């Protein structure tokens, strides 16, 4: 059974499927999560605290997914390709993660504003961590690469950066007379051709003496 905090975060994410963050009300989230408003404020402190918690949750869930894929049995190169494919699919389905990875926030999302200077630390440990602020896009990419360990870190970073190039500028779909890319909600995982390119580059990069990617 989810904790009150987990239920509130789930309610907030559900509300964002068809509403912008500015129209989401704390009282509605408490009702949806079946907890009191006082519990909500005890956990997050404020709506801005909840926004920071949502963003931190997305970053943590993404990194956990990366670790799971990297730990799967099979050739490491294939696991790195799986990370790239999953990054594209996950970013397409999770607008907050897409903003975290690209830095492209918009008015519909809960932009995590910094904690007010001099504010008392949150009493809830998870909230103190969230209040420390989300990772910048480059920091999140570095954390993703670190999940692969020293030997494969460079290859993992390469795979993620190639995936992000697809997230930022997905292919123009055939049949679109205006030549425009599809909306983010309709993006799909990378094509087999892109996967083949990544596998080829990774075989070179991960066997190279270089430890970093310029």
CA dist 80 and 158 (Å) reads 9
Say if residue 181's pLDDT is above 70: no
If one compares 121 and 77, the residue with the highest pLDDT of the two is 121
CA angle 162, 109, 86 (to 5 degrees): 30
CA dist 154 and 36 (Å) reads 47
pLDDT for 2: 86
pLDDT digits (tens, 9 = 90+) for 19-61: 999 999 999 999 999 999 999 999 999 999 999 999 999 999 9
pLDDT for 70: 95
pLDDT for 51: 96
Q: Is residue 122 domain-resident? A: no
**In the predicted model, what is the mean pLDDT of residues 160-168?**
88
Q: Is residue 17 domain-resident? A: no
Say if residue 179's pLDDT is above 50: no
Burial per residue of 1-24, b for 16 or more beta-carbon CB atoms within 10 angstroms, e otherwise: eeebbebbbebbbebbeeeebeeb
pLDDT for 211: 47
Show the DSSP H helices in the chain as ranges: 4-15, 26-33, 37-44, 47-70, 76-93, 95-102, 125-131, 137-146, 149-168, 192-205
Q: How many domains does the chain have?
A: 1
pTM of the model: 0.84
Say if residue 171's pLDDT is above 70: no
Say if residue 141's pLDDT is above 90: yes
CA dist 110 and 56 (Å) reads 11
Say if residue 204's pLDDT is above 50: yes
Q: Is residue 160 domain-resident? A: yes
pLDDT for 172: 54
pLDDT for 75: 86
Question: Considering the chain, what is the average pLDDT of its residues?
Answer: 86
pLDDT for 87: 94
Burial class (CB in 10 A: 0-12, 13-18, 19+), 46: middle
pLDDT band with cut points at 50, 70 and 90 for residue 117: confident
Q: Is residue 170 domain-resident? A: yes
Q: Is residue 181 domain-resident? A: yes
Q: Is residue 25 domain-resident? A: no
**In the predicted model, what is the mean pLDDT of residues 116-144?**
94
If one compares 205 and 213, the residue with the highest pLDDT of the two is 205
Among candidate residues 58, 136, 141, the one with its CA nearest the CA of residue 103: 136
If one compares 113 and 139, the residue with the highest pLDDT of the two is 139
pLDDT for 148: 93
Torsional sign, CA 23, 57, 151, 136: positive
Q: Is residue 148 domain-resident? A: yes
pLDDT for 151: 86
User: Encoding tokens for residue 144?
Assistant: 């993703």
Domain assignment of residue 185, given as a range: 55-110+134-205
């Amino acid at each position: 059974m989810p904790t009150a905090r987990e239920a509130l975060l789930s309610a907030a994410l559900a509300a964002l499927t068809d509403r912008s963050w500015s129209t989401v009300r704390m009282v509605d989230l408490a009702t949806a999560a079946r907890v009191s408003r006082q519990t909500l404020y005890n956990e997050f402190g404020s709506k801005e605290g909840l926004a920071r918690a949502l963003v931190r949750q997305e970053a943590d869930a993404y990194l956990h997914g990366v670790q799971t894929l990297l730990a799967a049995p099979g050739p490491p190169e294939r696991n790195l390709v799986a990370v790239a494919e999953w990054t594209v699919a996950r970013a397409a389905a999770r607008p907050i993660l897409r903003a975290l990875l690209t830095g492209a926030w918009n008015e519909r999302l809960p932009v995590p504003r910094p904690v007010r200077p001099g504010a008392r630390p949150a009493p809830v440990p998870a909230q103190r961590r969230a209040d420390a602020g989300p990772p910048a896009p480059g920091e999140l990419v570095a954390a993703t690469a670190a999940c692969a360990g020293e030997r494969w870190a460079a290859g993992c970073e390469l795979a993620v950066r190639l995936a992000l190039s697809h997230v930022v500028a997905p292919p123009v779909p055939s049949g679109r007379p205006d030549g425009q890319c599809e909306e983010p909600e309709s993006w799909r995982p990378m094509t087999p051709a892109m996967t083949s390119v990544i596998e080829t580059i990774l075989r070179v990069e991960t066997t190279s003496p270089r430890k970093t990617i310029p």
